[in-house]
Every structure is written in structure tokens, then in C-alpha cells.
A and B are shown apart, each in its own frame.
Chain A
Amino acid sequence: DVKVTQSSRYLVKRTGEKVFLECVQDMDHENMFWYRQDPGLGLRLIYFSYDVKMKEKGDIPEGYSVSREKKERFSLILESASTNQTSMYLCASLKRKGMTGELFFGEGSRLTVL
């Protein structure tokens, strides 16, 4: 069974803290994505990566950075968390070759910044 695993389902952090959200996929997919989901706003793309050490900005990259040192792992970093980054964060992966467009999502990480 294909799987995208996010390290934490729920996190509570304080303003100014550095936050790491980890995502691992076991499908050897080239593309990985980080979205955030907020009520009434749908899913918004933060960053994506199409290869190791490669990254591209999505719609809302401000306040975030990412790291892709290994193909299976894509990390989202909040250098200094703020209350407006309280959200559900979703990681996804996509196989480039074949290109059916089937994104596989993790279960999500709900972050609360106090």
C-alpha cells in the first residue's frame, strides 16, 4: 500500500519557535508538496519539490522554507512561528513518470501557534 507519513498529527508551539514538519513517502515519487488548509480557503500550495535539493515556491511561500535532502523526505520549516500560521498542513507526493496526476496525501499535521 502506498503511503505518505507526516511526523505529527497535532503540534502546539509558541510564537517565535522554530517548527519542523516532516513528511516521508515510500513510493519513490519524484514530486512532493506542502499545502496548508484553512476554513473557506481550500488547499493552498506553499512549496513543492520535483527532485532532491530542488524546490519551487507555490502560492504562499512567505514565512516558510523547505528541505529535500533525500528523495523520500520533504520537510517544511517555520523559522519563527506566528499565530497566523496556525493551520492544517498537508504533505503529498506524485509520481512524475506515467503522470496520471494521482496525488497521494498524508493525514495532515494540525499546528497551533500560541
Chain B
Amino acid sequence: DAKTTQPPSMDCAEGRAANLPCNHSTISGNEYVYWYRQIHSQGPQYIIHGLKNNETNEMASLIITEDRKSSTLILPHATLRDTAVYYCIVRVAGANNLFFGTGTRLTVIP
């Protein structure tokens, strides 16, 4: 599986959009981009995933660049409950394993 690179930490003001970047320059054509988050003392939680097109669900939006070498997770109106570690992962559909990195610690500030 290709590796990802994320900034170790970010701050965001409450109510503003949080934009979390992820680099995956070695991604291959059949690898999806997944985002998870982990709130303190809980197991990670799935947020969203995509292949080429931008995706949106009730939690977030995922913007993938045309060359697929990077992506951005957008939380449109960050709340204090969005404070968590966010993980970006790439994975081949149907692959049995999933490798996490160190993620980005997002702190939403009142």
C-alpha cells in the first residue's frame, strides 16, 4: 500500500472550515483514499472515502486532486467535538489490510 504524509497538528476556529491535507504521491490507479478520525479514548471512526471524484457526506467533503497525489478533507463548520486525530489512508479496493500512519491532530478552538 502507498504511504501518506500528513501534518502532525492543526488548529481551527470553531465554526470555520477545517481543511486537512494529505499527500499520497505514490498512489496507484486502483487505490482509494480513506479518512478516519479518532476522538480521545475511543476507537477510530470512518469518515469518508473516494477514488477520483470529490465526495461529500453528512460528516465531511473529500477533495482529490486531478493527479490523485494529494487530497483534502474538509469539515465545513468545525465544532469542539471535531477535535480528534485524523488519519488519511490509501488502500486497494478489496485488499484485506489497512495501514494507518500517525495522522493529524486537529484542535478546534472556541
Judge whether A76 is part of the interface by a CB distance below 8 angstroms: no
B93–A105 CB distance below 8 A: no
Q: Are B46 and A102 in contact (CB under 8 A)?
A: yes
Chain A interface size band reads 20 to 34
Chain A residue nearest in CB terms to B6: A42
Give chain A residues whose Cβ lies under 8 Å from the Cβ of B45: 105
Q: Is the CB of A31 within 8 A of B96?
A: yes
Q: Whose C-beta in chain B lies nearest to the C-beta of A107?
A: B43
Which residues of chain A from 87 to 104 have a CB within 8 Å of any chain B CB? 90, 92, 94, 96, 99-104
Question: B46 and A90: CB pair below 8 A?
Answer: no
Complex-state Cα separation, A96 to B95, whole angstroms = 9
Asked whether A43 and B44 contact (CB < 8 A) given A101-B49, A101-B98, the answer is: yes
* Structural contact, A106 and B96, CB atoms closer than 8 A: no
- Whole-angstrom distance between the Cβ of A59 and the nearest chain B Cβ: 7
- 8 Å CB contacts to B: which residues of A1-19? 4
Q: List 23 A-B contacts (CB under 8 A).
A: A4-B43, A40-B102, A42-B87, A43-B44, A43-B100, A48-B96, A48-B97, A56-B96, A56-B97, A58-B99, A90-B43, A92-B44, A96-B94, A96-B96, A101-B32, A101-B93, A101-B98, A103-B36, A103-B98, A107-B41, A107-B42, A107-B43, A108-B43
